[in-house]
Amino acid sequence: MIQIHELGEVELIRKSAQIVGRCLSMLSREIRPGVSTLELDRLAEAFIRDSGGEPAFKGYRGFPASVCASINEEVVHGIPSASRFLREGDIVSLDIGVKREGFFGDAAHTYAVGEVTPVATKLLEATQRGLEAGIEQARPGNRVSDISAAIEREVTRHRFRVVRALVGHGIGRELHEEPQVPNYGRVG
């Protein structure tokens, strides 16, 4: 069931999400060859706590870290490690969740590590365009399926496929709330 949040609750969600955004921005400046995913996790946890939040993923269903750090073919939920180092040409996805004043924020972003291959560059561009197409469809009168179809259409236009096993989601008092937002679907 989709939770309808009051304006005050939406503002608390926004504040948690702003910490996530600022944390991702800070981490983007630390991404370079030779950095371990555990170092990124430590930086993120300190930033989140210094910002008045708590890491939402740490301890969630046994997850041991504050950040999901997924390199190259890993789609999501990569566990940070002192022995996993970023290398020139990698792409790394960082997924961060924050809980503050009882409400969650959650977002992920994928970054190039130094110079990446033309295919990796095209993948990053296709996913960004897919995100933008989905956001464009997130308006009154449209359905979640309109968002999903726009994402899939844009990604496939760039000759890539979407991951069907995972979906976006709502957020609020829970880390994962309805609605689920697939990256594929039919209009309407």
The model's confidence at residue 140, banded by pLDDT at 50, 70 and 90, is very high
CA–CA separation, 26 and 96 (whole Å): 12
List pLDDT tens digits, range 112-131. 999 999 999 999 999 999 99
Token pair listed for 113 = 């590590």
Question: Looking at residue 80, what is its pLDDT?
Answer: 98
DSSP letter, residue 110: E
CA–CA separation, 152 and 172 (whole Å): 26
Its pTM stands at 0.95
List pLDDT tens digits, range 32-88. 999 999 999 999 999 999 999 999 999 999 999 999 999 999 999 999 999 999 999
Pick from 49, 27, 25: which is nearest to 40 by CA? Answer: 27
Cβ atoms of residues 146 and 187 within 8 Å: yes
What average pLDDT score do residues 147-152 get? 98
Beta-sheet strands, E only, within the chain: 54-55, 67-71, 91-100, 103-112, 168-170, 177-181
Token pair listed for 94 = 């960082």
CB atoms within 10 A of CB 62: 5
Cβ atoms of residues 25 and 107 within 8 Å: no
DSSP assignment string, 161-184:
---SS--EEE-SSSSSEEEEE-S-
The pLDDT of residue 188 is above 90 = no
Q: Which domains does the chain have, with CATH numbers?
A: 1-116 (3.90.230.10), 117-188 (no CATH)
pLDDT > 90: percent of the chain: 98
The pLDDT of residue 20 is above 90 = yes
Query: In which residue are the tokens 């008092």 written?
Result: 173
Question: Looking at residue 63, what is its pLDDT?
Answer: 97
What average pLDDT score do residues 103-110 get? 98
Q: How far is the CA of 188 from the CAs of 129, 137, 145, in angstroms?
A: 21, 11, 6
Average pLDDT of every residue of the chain: 98
